[in-house]
Amino acid sequence: MKKALPLHMLITAAMLLMAAACSQSSEKPHSKAAADTPRSRSLDYVQPISFLSAPGDTVSTIEAAIADDDEERSQGLMDVEELPADKGMLFIFEENKPRSFWMANTPLPLDIIFVNADKTIIRIHHSTQPFSEKNLTSEQPARYVIETNAGYCVSHDIQEGMKVDF
């Protein structure tokens, strides 16, 4: 006659098997998801933007990716880990009205440049903090927003009141 295993031994064995199965099933999908997820987005820089001095001379020019619909505007430069020195993003809105941006999920420090419908720079937020949820406002109506690497405006002497051309 076979001798039955004590109940506590059966429960312990079942728990060990469940723990092993759970750890294996959670590792495989996690590893696959991590392998399938791109680490950084890449952008198409298609729009030249010139920053103009008071007399209308070009001070500097960047090439920008365009964000002109709700999905692109909400994505912005989130998850972009590298931005070449002469590149940026141009946000285009239908209306000229006060705007507010934040840096949530944005790993790069940026200069955020608010531009009104006349293409005049009305507000610059210099060297914004990555991943910050602080609201960065235009304080006046803006139709466009340009994002560049942090320090771009200082190094190229770009100031509020200047014009842009694109």
pLDDT at 116: 98
User: Which pair of structure tokens corresponds to residue 6?
Assistant: 């004590």
For every residue of 13-26, which 3-state class applies, written as one string? Answer: HHHHHHHHHHHHHH
> Does the pLDDT of residue 22 top 70, yes or no?
no
pLDDT at 20: 46
Q: Tell which residue, 153, 152, 112, 155, has the closest CA to residue 130.
A: 112
> Does the pLDDT of residue 35 top 60, yes or no?
no
**Phi-psi sector, 79: left (phi>0), alpha (psi -120 to 50), beta:** left
* Span 57-103, pLDDT tens digits: 999 999 999 999 999 999 999 989 999 999 999 999 999 999 999 99
- How far apart CA 165 and CA 22 sit, in angstroms, is 58
pLDDT at 42: 84
Reported pTM: 0.76
Q: Which helix (H) or strand (E) holds 96?
A: strand 87-101
> Does the pLDDT of residue 9 top 60, yes or no?
no
List the single range of 29-38, 76-85, 150-159 with lowest mean pLDDT.
Answer: 29-38
